[in-house]
Chain A
Amino acid sequence: MTIQAQMKESSNGASDPSDLTPLCKRLVEMSHDPDTAFNMPASDLQPMRLAAAQELFKLRREQIPALRKRAEEAGIDRIESFDDLVPLLFAHTIYKSYPQELIDKGRWKMMLKWLQTLSAKDVSKVDVEGVKDVDDFIERLWEAGHAVLATSGSSGKVSFLNHTMQDRARKTRHLKHTMGWPFTKATSDRPVFWFGPMKGRNSAVEMGISNEENWGSPGCTYALDERPLLISEVSETAAMRKKLADGTALPDEIDAFEQKQKAKAEASADELLRLIDKLLDMRHQPMFVFALWAQHLAIRDRARERGIPDGDFHLETVLFPAGGIKGLNMPADYREQVTAFYGPVIQIGVYGMTEMAQLMPRCEAKRYHAPPGLILMALDATGQRVLGPKDAVDGKITGRAGFLDLMYEGRWGGLITGDKITMDVAGPCPCGRPGPTVLDTISRFAQTGEEDHIGCAGTIDAYVRGGLPA
């Protein structure tokens, strides 16, 4: 298996041979001047967004079969209002809706056929002759210009999100202008510490590459995992889980697998420590640091071991903490602890997800602002209706986040999420800029009221023990 060297886009400059429709292009490029873009009132933006959505829909429905099908079923011919977008928002699961057998049995032509239903560009001509495994399949797509990102959830099933090389470049450019906003501007002159993988075809890796390009001084990137993140390894774990479940895994095989996992975990722990030490050594320079909250606490603990006091970092260091804490044993005030450790460095935050190209930066008032090219909606709990001012309580609406990202040319950027967001729709943000804004209270839209329910139904997962990461 060969992983190609990362492609740096030569098109990151003036000429943009993209297929972005004119209205979308205009909105997307507004964020290149974020101070103006995030100061535009919704009354100006919304009509432009609606017109752009219609323009985009008209084109994409001809290109993306799944979108066309949705539109036909819902009887949507035009986007006349934001309500018309609701039936056209995909669930994230659509990107992993292929039958697992296609990968297990290496039916790559069928996988292409599946991917085509979600892609704006023609993927049918990708050469899949002799494809060895799923990573190989992904590389063939990249070679043919289809920047497919593979992301694995806890279920082990892999999502495939197609986009184009121009999409990648545009996303990097968007991040360049908005990631540090409103605190600082990205300049390519810092060491970048990326506490995650930097190789592979994954959205986290892509974020790393974009940030390296935007913030990093050449040759000064330090990442956690120098090995490429291989989907086949994820699939290997899923396959092992399946074998454990159906009882075909024999004791020797289970033992070997567990040893391998253990060795990997130990190697990762060593690598993490080395990276932490490197970071601590360079703490008096302005850096760009991405790490998960739990990793930041590990950095803090290591600093204490080394006798490094709190607040001993260069003030121009940009700190980008992220990630969920589900299943981790974290103190309730972990954010405050991390902030206290780094001191008054520049701490940035964004709201976004794998499926979103244009992330929402967090302002001085700790609220998230949507860039002009992102249509963000709060939907009702069932995801069938856009909530409006009449649903507001004290000027705020709480609902399920849905969005249409107007940036993508490679796929449809409409998605309904499982995130519960509260939007202030009443007035300007406390930071002084116009609303609506999203409060820093984002959580998962879990079914409430079901704690401690006991039923007799269950799955084979309850019968699988040991050795496997969740």
Chain B
Amino acid sequence: MNSVTTPGLASTPLSVGNIIKGRYIEGGAEVYGPPHAQFATSELVLNDLVWKRSEPGPAFETPLAEIMDVLAETGKWLAKDPDGLVAESLEKAARTSPLPYAVLKRSFALLPAQFDRAQLEYQVEREFGGADILDGWRQMPTPPSGRNHRVRAYPPRIVHIIAGNAPLAAALTIVWAALTKGVHLLKLPSNDLFTATMLIRAIASVAPGHPLAQSFSTAYWRGGDTKVESALFRPQYFDKIAAWGGDTTLRNAKNYIGPGFELVAFDPKTSISMIGREAFESDAVLTKVADLAATDATLIEQQACASSRYQFVEGSTEEVDRYCAKLIEKMGVERPFCTPEGRPLPTDMREEVEGLRGMDDFYRVWGDYNGSGVVIRSEDPVGFHPDGRVVNVVAVPNLADALQYVTLATQTVGVYPPARKAELRNALACAGVQRVVDIGNAGGVERGLPHDGFYPLQRFVRWVNDEGGEVS
């Protein structure tokens, strides 16, 4: 099943197309990547990647309802895949994605749902209370001063550094970008060179010549290439840089931040689980909890920010060991966002785990290095960052004792039983957490709720005031 990702097959560079203002250009001119996974993009013409500020973007004045029509049709088009474009992109993506083919395929199958109209409307409603403020100038309620003001969520100019660990990141970016209109340049990551481009091509196919597709460009350049980035990352061209995780991405983006050029950071994060003693109520309950916790741990093969890596369990060592045995079993199960077998453990992680084996007084290790999972039970959290389906289970006398290990980098906390979220959520929020969820639900933030700790559409738009004057 994974044969398409066998390195030997990628001996000729893979063609990676770019989008220039809605127009697709086949790749081939510039070769990147290590010898076994080379890819060739179209030539990068920097002039083509900027929009002049003296002119409004193509969709600035397109009514949101019309944009939603196009997006909703795009969703249907993606599901039908009349031209075989989705299937072709999936096969190509499989050659550079670190995800197993089955997971990638199931992720691709979820792309149409991202364009679901009811969800788009719900998100606009939650974030703006209606489309009018995106389409025009909303009259503000009369303030205490008695003056009259109007505000518009004006379409932005954004360069996006998107994440490639899951195809969903490209879909979210494109949908959010479309809803805020604006003009958008997407810098492709080397681990997902195809999804974003394919989605824009889908939009262009659904509505040929429509301003929405013309509002997008996608391009690959090597992240950090100063020749490209110092030329493009200027407030004269873009208002914001929306950058997803990765320490180096954010540190690099930071170099260009200045007046008029703002960073919207989807911070790099890690996630945990908190399991109360209620899990030990019966063997059946423990099995169920382990299954839910395994879902969170194996999410996107544990490559996501929401994937659980540390699990704090309220119980004795003996109880926690029972939990660990069940957890390792449940990690080898087929799920939408993981395969049962996984991928062989990366070298550095293998070395870390290997170092703990045989240290029975301090650790117990379940699982092997073949990929389906490793569970380490320890008294305190291990000193390394569990990755590649490695879970560190830490026994705590009380869930509150786990709070000391929660930091600014902690994003999602899955809790069992859900009723105990109420006793924990303020303390978790205080420590820096962004989401507290029922265990098993770390994946998939509901559209319309804050994402990574903020309302993305609100952050994307430029807020502009028209102050004073007569009520219009």
Interface residues of A (CB under 8 A from B): 65-66, 69-70, 73, 90-101, 110, 113-114, 117, 155, 157, 245-247, 381-383, 416, 418, 445, 447-463
Contact = CB atoms under 8 A, between A and B. Distances in A.
A99 B161 CA distance: 38
B347 A418 contact: yes
Contacts, number: 175
A326 B349 CA distance: 21
Contact of A100 (B222, B249, B380): B380
Given A418-B351, A447-B348, 20 more contacts: A69-B358, A70-B357, A94-B356, A94-B359, A95-B355, A114-B359, A117-B359, A155-B384, A382-B350, A383-B347, A418-B348, A447-B346, A453-B164, A454-B189, A456-B165, A456-B246, A457-B304, A457-B387, A458-B268, A458-B305
Interface in B340-355: 344, 346-348, 350-352, 354-355
Contacts of A117: 358-359, 361
Given A99-B380, A462-B409, A453 B98 contact: yes
B contact patch SS: loop
Contact of A101 (B161, B350, B354, B380): B380
Contacts of B223: 452, 454
Interface stretch (B31-39, B196-204, B282-290, B414-422): B31-39
Q: Which of A65, A450, A459 has the most CB of B within 10 A?
A: A459
Given A418-B347, A455-B245, A458-B245, A97 B407 contact: no
Interface string B18-47: 000000000000000110110000000000
Contacts of A451: 33-34, 190, 222
A245 B407 contact: yes
Given A101-B379, A455-B245, A92 B385 contact: no
Contacts of B380: 99-101
A449 B33 contact: yes
B162 A91 contact: no
A381 B190 CA distance: 23
B358 A463 contact: no
Contacts of B165: 453-457
Q: Which of A99, A416, A447, A452 has the most CB of B within 10 A?
A: A452
B420 to A, nearest CB: 23
B258 interface: no
Contacts of B379: 99, 101
Given A100-B380, A463-B409, A456 B169 contact: yes
Interface string B160-174: 011111000100000
Contacts of A114: 359, 361-362
Given A101-B379, A448-B34, A455 B191 contact: yes
Contact of B359 (A97, A100, A157, A448): A97
A450 B7 CA distance: 13
Nearest to A444: B347
Given A100-B383, A453-B190, A447 B249 contact: no
Nearest to A247: B408
A457 B303 contact: yes
A94 B355 contact: yes
16 contacts: A90-B355, A93-B355, A97-B356, A99-B378, A117-B358, A246-B407, A382-B347, A382-B350, A418-B351, A448-B34, A454-B164, A456-B266, A457-B387, A459-B409, A460-B409, A463-B408
Contact of A450 (B98, B162, B344, B385): B98
Given A114-B359, A459-B409, A462-B250, A453 B268 contact: no
Contacts of B267: 458, 462
B244 interface: yes
A456 B408 contact: no
A452 B222 contact: yes
B362 A98 contact: yes
B453 to A, nearest CB: 13
Contacts of B244: 454-456
Q: Which of B36, B161, B189, B362 has the most CB of A within 10 A?
A: B362
A454 B164 CA distance: 5
Contacts of B384: 155
B305 A457 contact: yes
A70 B356 CA distance: 11
Contacts of A383: 347, 350
Interface in B366-417: 369, 378-380, 383-385, 387, 407-409
A457 B161 CA distance: 14
B360 interface: yes
Nearest to B247: A462
A103 to B, nearest CB: 11
B307 interface: yes
A91 B98 contact: no
A454 B359 contact: no
Given A449-B33, A456-B269, A97 B355 contact: yes
Nearest to B382: A99
B245 A457 contact: yes
Nearest to A465: B251
B268 A462 contact: yes
Contacts of B360: 69
B270 interface: yes
Given A65-B358, A114-B359, A117-B358, A454 B246 contact: yes
A176 B186 CA distance: 60
Contacts of A69: 357-358, 360
A383 B347 CA distance: 9
B361 A460 contact: no
Contacts of A93: 351-352, 354-356
A342 B379 CA distance: 54
Nearest to B164: A454
